[in-house]
């Protein structure tokens, strides 16, 4: 997996006016994702270093083309045609790492991803699916979700 590390602090909420100096990283991410054998790309950095801002910029690519970077513009448009971008804050999933809670963290992640993808594609809240009873803690997991 490719890792990009940032050293320039940024500020949330995302502001297009404050987004500058990351065109090299954007081109690298676009190339990873658009390659013939798509590769994953981890974006790693301290709090407030612009990871979310960078991803929000990628997800709003059509609205934010950069005049002085035609290669980046082309890559951003290709991304927009090939992918659906959803925002999922994963900050709390690592809190449930005890052996007996790993299933809960995994279930929460997939349900949150489902909700975010549904909202992006269809608007509004996602319909609830029937969840299979997998183990004795299923009632606890259903309540937590």
- The predicted pLDDT at position 110 comes to 85
- Domain assignment present for residue 137? The answer is yes
In terms of pTM, does the model score above 0.85? no
CA nearest to 140, candidates 112, 94, 108, 98: 108
Which of these three, 29, 53, 82, is where a domain ends? Answer: 82
Same domain? 71 vs 97 = no
- Domain with 136, as residue range(s), is 93-144
- The predicted pLDDT at position 135 comes to 53
- The predicted pLDDT at position 6 comes to 47
- The predicted pLDDT at position 68 comes to 73
Q: How many residues does the chain have?
A: 145
Q: Do 123 and 111 form a contact (C-beta atoms < 8 A)?
A: no
Same domain? 14 vs 54 = yes
- The predicted pLDDT at position 34 comes to 92
Same domain? 23 vs 42 = yes
Same domain? 78 vs 105 = no
- Domain assignment present for residue 107? The answer is yes
Local mean pLDDT, 10-residue blocks, the chain (145 residues): 50 58 85 86 82 80 68 87 82 64 76 88 80 54 56
């Amino acid at each position: 997996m490719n890792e990009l590390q940032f050293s320039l602090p940024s500020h949330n909420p995302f502001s297009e006016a404050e987004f500058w100096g990351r065109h090299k990283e954007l081109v690298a991410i676009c190339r990873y994702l658009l390659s013939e054998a798509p590769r994953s790309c981890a974006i790693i950095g301290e709090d407030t270093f612009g990871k979310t801002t960078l991803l929000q910029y990628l997800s709003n690519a059509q609205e934010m083309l950069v005049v002085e970077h035609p290669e980046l513009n082309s890559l951003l448009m290709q991304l927009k045609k090939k992918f659906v971008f959803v925002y999922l804050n994963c900050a709390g999933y690592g809190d449930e790492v005890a052996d007996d809670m790993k299933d809960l963290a995994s279930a929460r992640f997939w349900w949150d991803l489902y909700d975010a993808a549904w909202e992006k594609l269809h608007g509004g809240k996602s319909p609830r699916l029937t969840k299979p009873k997998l183990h004795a803690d299923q009632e606890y997991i259903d309540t937590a979700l």
